[in-house]
């Protein structure tokens, strides 16, 4: 299990034990964070799984593909160097200690 710290829209933070091989979105949803709508189910077409990567871990994550970047850039809540779509991040052991904050919906 990989420890990930998740902050919801109300500013409440809780650590979850994320399962490797699942996406970060699936892990957040599986741990009852209802703020993350993820309405396309991980198809990289909705931007409702948008999170901010905190604590300087952004550069340690796998690089994003063009389609993820295009979707995020269209979000009014996009933050360069922090925004990611959590459905596009597959959790692995290198992410232990990752801190993310759920972004407001566009
Ligand atoms: S769940 Fe729709 S883009 Fe991630």
Instruction: Give me the percent of the chain exceeding a pLDDT of 90.
Output: 94
CATH number for the domain spanning 57: value is: 3.10.20.30
Boundaries of domain holding 64: 2-102
- Quick one: pLDDT band at residue 55, thresholds 50, 70, 90? confident
Kindly state the DSSP code that residue 65 receives in the 8-state scheme. P
pLDDT at 2: 97
Closest atom, ligand 1, to C-alpha of 44: 3
Mean pLDDT of the residues in the chain: 96
| Per-position b or e across 40-55, b if 16+ CB within 10 A of its CB | eebebebbbbbbbbee
Per residue in 64-104, pLDDT tens? 999 999 999 999 999 999 999 999 999 999 999 999 999 99
pLDDT at 35: 94
Pocket of ligand 1 (CB under 6 A): 25, 38, 40, 42-49, 85, 87
Number of domains in the chain: 1
Q: Is 19 exposed, middle or buried (0-12, 13-18, 19+ CB in 10 A)?
A: middle
């Amino acid at each position: 299990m990989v420890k990930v710290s998740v902050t919801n829209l109300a500013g409440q933070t809780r650590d979850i034990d994320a399962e490797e091989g699942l996406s970060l979105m699936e892990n957040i949803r599986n741990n009852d964070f209802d703020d993350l709508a993820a309405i396309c189910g991980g198809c990289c077409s909705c931007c409702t799984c948008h999170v901010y990567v905190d604590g300087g871990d952004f550069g340690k994550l796998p690089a994003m593909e063009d389609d993820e970047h295009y979707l995020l850039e269209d979000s009014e809540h996009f933050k360069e160097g922090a925004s990611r779509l959590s459905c596009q991040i597959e959790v692995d052991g290198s992410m232990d200690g990752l801190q993310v904050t759920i972004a407001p919906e566009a």
